[in-house]
């Protein structure tokens, strides 16, 4: 585990330098966050137009807690191929997973920061106040949502890296699926029964339900813990899948030549 | 005694993406390399050198045959093989250009299980060894091609590997750096490491290799010592001269050891191909005696030597 963490740390360093190519603190605040807030405000204002406080809060939670979630990480899974380091990572005596997790996870920290900032600004703008405890629990669940989504992006990234040219499309697809099916904009019950089953196997869905329970009236600790527990389980499921396929796909690339794809 | 590198009938066929056509990159390669030997792999672009190195370094699987590193099969005992090898690919790719040279080596040291307490000293030693100590804290993005190549070398050495694969390692190096590289290879050999080095450069092969394997179109043509390879090249030396006189051309053609005299760029410029290096003197004497003043000699490229070889010896190893 210490060995994996050591590699993860260097992978994270590479990721942090990737991040710095895209953003500095000025462009992150003035560019990225403005874009995110604009998007969130449009949706939340639609909730206000509907004239229902309940719908307004539903959209606020959905869009603020998932602000920026899922972006860039899937594409980052292919960046080692672009650098020409992928095959070198594969043939090192270590698993490729910690290196990949490190490089990709910097974007997860960006999601957490984006969601925190958005949550505070939106709740201030719409004068929705919470207790300190509710705020702390909400922020913790936001972190959980970002981590579980990250595990999904690693799995999708591993698949996308088999066809690196469509990595950005896969990245957008992840965002689309989360926004459409995980209870961000419409309740999961909106979708057909079979699709609801799929929705509950995705990250975010249980986490958002947990936040809505925390911020709703008459919060029920058992129900909240149940949703948090389910979100954790879903996260472990995606983590397990991603750990299972990352090295296998890399090794399979030795046979079919996809290890050399750029 | 177990060979450091051994291949029997190794081949690799690529399936072209989206097409039924298959491309054969390597055929029936048999190599035996002793521990501590520096073996060159010479061949033109597309000859199969890099494919062979990739198979031996576990990047690619062979589609035919068997390859072992110190008796460990590259297909079935991949983990054992990976613990014994280091690889250096030439060119700009394969480095994290957003990291510094020191960070790069520390990262690869972690990936190769170098204990944390040993990493600092080993990285410092390597940076000194490849001449990057003064630039150790600069990011790779600002490095020249030669500096990147030095860092590639250091990265390949970070694991203290028993077997090193150097794929075109002097690409981008200036002559002084290339000379330093040759010294480094000799040092590595003196430490008992086995090295397989691919190159286009005959001088480099001659300087560092114990033996050289010639490869073309995926097939191994011959295994020679650098001295016999140099002899082979000199036999195919050629002379270019300017003269429009048919009598001069005829007298050159009559010199023993001349294979052909062909007109180039019209009737004025001619090229003399020799089959015997000893004929050079006779050709030059004939041209000077005929009053020809524009004369130059050149050696054929490696690819041209291959053409001669295939013509002379077929595909026999």
The answer to whether the CB atoms of A93 and B82 lie below 8 A apart is yes
Number of separate domains in chain A? 1
pLDDT at residue B310 is higher than 60: no
Give B317→chain A minimum CA distance, Å. 28
Q: What is the ipTM score, two decimals?
A: 0.89
pLDDT at residue B307 is higher than 70: no
Task: Please name which of A116, A136, A118, A114 lies closest in space to residue A126, comparing C-alpha atoms.
Answer: A118
pLDDT per position as a tens digit, A209-257 = 999 999 987 778 999 999 999 999 999 999 999 999 988 888 888 887 7
Residue A206 — very low, low, confident or very high, per pLDDT cuts 50/70/90? Answer: very high
Tokens of B220: 């191994």
The answer to whether the CB atoms of B60 and A21 lie below 8 A apart is no
Domain that holds residue A79: 2-255
* Bridging pattern class, strands B38-42 and B238-242: unpaired
Q: Is residue A142 in a domain? A: yes
What's the predicted TM-score (pTM) here? Answer: 0.82
Percent of chain A clearing pLDDT 90 (strictly above): 61
Cβ contacts (< 8 Å) between B165 and chain A: which residues? none
Q: Is residue A262 in a domain? A: no
Q: Is residue A19 in a domain? A: yes
Q: Is residue A72 in a domain? A: yes
Q: CA-based diameter of chain B, in Å?
A: 78
Those residues of chain A whose CB sits closer than 8 Å to some CB in chain B are 3, 6-7, 10, 13-14, 17-18, 20-21, 83-85, 87-94, 99, 254-257, 259-260
- From residue B271, give the alpha-carbon distance in Å to each of A23, B49, B144: 61, 31, 39
- From residue B4, give the alpha-carbon distance in Å to each of A33, B35, B39, B83: 57, 5, 11, 14
Q: Is residue A260 in a domain? A: no
pLDDT at residue B161 is higher than 60: yes
Cβ contacts (< 8 Å) between A18 and chain B: which residues? 98
Q: Is residue A155 in a domain? A: yes
Q: Which among A85, A90, A259 has CB closest to B94?
A: A85
Q: Is residue A105 in a domain? A: yes
Q: Which of A93, A103, A251, A261 to mutate to test the interface with B (most CBs of B within 10 A)?
A: A93
The answer to whether the CB atoms of B60 and A99 lie below 8 A apart is no
pLDDT per position as a tens digit, A136-189 = 999 999 999 999 999 999 999 988 888 878 888 888 899 999 999 999 989 999
Angle at B73 between CA B70 and CA B75, to 5 degrees: 145
pLDDT at residue B303 is higher than 60: no
Q: Is residue A261 in a domain? A: no
Residue B314 — very low, low, confident or very high, per pLDDT cuts 50/70/90? Answer: very low
Angle between helices A33-49 and A97-125 (to 10 degrees): 50
- Whose tokens are 């000025």? That residue is A26
Cβ contacts (< 8 Å) between B107 and chain A: which residues? 7, 10, 13-14
pLDDT per position as a tens digit, B177-198 = 788 888 888 888 999 999 999 9
Give A91→chain B minimum CA distance, Å. 6
């Amino acid at each position: 585990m210490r060995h994996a963490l050591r590699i993860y740390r260097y992978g994270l360093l590479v990721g942090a330098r990737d991040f710095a190519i895209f953003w500095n603190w000025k462009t992150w605040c003035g560019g990225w966050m403005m874009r995110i807030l604009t998007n969130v405000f449009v949706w939340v204002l639609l909730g206000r137009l509907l004239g229902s406080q309940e719908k307004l809060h539903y959209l606020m939670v959905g869009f603020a807690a998932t602000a920026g979630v899922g972006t860039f990480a899937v594409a980052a899974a292919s960046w080692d191929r672009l650098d020409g380091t992928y095959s070198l990572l594969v043939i090192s005596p270590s698993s490729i997973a910690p290196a990949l997790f490190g490089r990709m996870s910097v974007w997860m920290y960006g999601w957490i920061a984006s969601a925190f900032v958005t949550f505070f600004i939106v709740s201030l703008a719409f004068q929705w106040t919470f207790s300190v405890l509710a705020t702390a629990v909400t922020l913790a669940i936001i972190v959980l949502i970002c981590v579980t989504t990250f595990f999904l992006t690693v799995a999708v990234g591993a698949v996308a890296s088999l066809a690196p040219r469509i990595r950005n499309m896969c990245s957008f697809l992840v965002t689309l699926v989360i926004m459409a099916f995980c209870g961000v904009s419409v309740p999961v019950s909106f979708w057909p029964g079979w699709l609801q089953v799929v929705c509950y196997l995705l990250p975010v869905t249980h986490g958002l339900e947990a936040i809505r329970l925390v911020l709703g009236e008459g919060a029920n600790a058992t129900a909240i813990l149940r949703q948090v527990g389910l979100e954790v389980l879903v996260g472990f499921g995606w983590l397990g899948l991603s750990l299972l396929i990352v090295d296998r796909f890399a090794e399979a690339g030795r046979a079919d030549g996809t290890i050399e794809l750029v | 005694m177990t060979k450091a590198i051994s291949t029997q009938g190794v081949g690799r066929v690529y399936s072209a993406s989206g097409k039924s056509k298959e491309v054969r990159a390597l055929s029936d390669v048999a190599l035996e390399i002793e521990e501590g030997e520096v073996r060159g792999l010479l061949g033109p672009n597309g000859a199969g050198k890099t494919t062979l190195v990739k198979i031996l370094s576990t990047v690619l699987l062979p589609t035919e045959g068997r390859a072992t590193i110190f008796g460990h099969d590259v297909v079935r005992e991949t983990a054992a093989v990976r613990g014994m090898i280091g690889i250096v690919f030439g060119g700009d790719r394969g480095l994290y250009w957003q990291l510094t040279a020191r960070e790069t080596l520390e990262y690869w040291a972690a990936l190769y299980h170098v204990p944390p307490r040993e990493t600092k000293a080993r990285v410092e030693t390597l940076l000194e060894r490849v001449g990057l100590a003064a630039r150790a804290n600069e990011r790779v993005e600002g490095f020249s091609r030669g500096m990147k190549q030095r860092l590639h070398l250091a990265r390949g050495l970070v694991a203290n590997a028993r077997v090193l694969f150097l794929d075109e390692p002097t690409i981008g190096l200036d002559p002084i750096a290339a000379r330093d590289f040759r010294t480094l290879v000799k040092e590595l050999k003196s430490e008992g490491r086995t090295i397989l080095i691919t190159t286009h450069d005959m001088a480099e092969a001659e300087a560092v290799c114990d033996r050289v394997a010639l490869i073309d179109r995926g097939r191994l043509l011959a295994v020679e010592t650098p001295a016999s390879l140099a002899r082979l090249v000199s036999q195919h030396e050629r002379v270019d001269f300017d003269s429009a006189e048919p009598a001069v051309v005829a007298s050159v053609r009559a010199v023993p050891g001349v294979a052909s005299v062909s007109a180039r760029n019209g009737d004025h410029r001619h090229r003399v191909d020799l089959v015997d290096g000893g004929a050079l003197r006779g050709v030059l004497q004939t041209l000077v005696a005929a009053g020809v003043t524009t004369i130059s000699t050149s050696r054929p490229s490696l690819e041209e030597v291959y053409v001669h070889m295939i013509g002379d010896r077929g595909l026999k190893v």
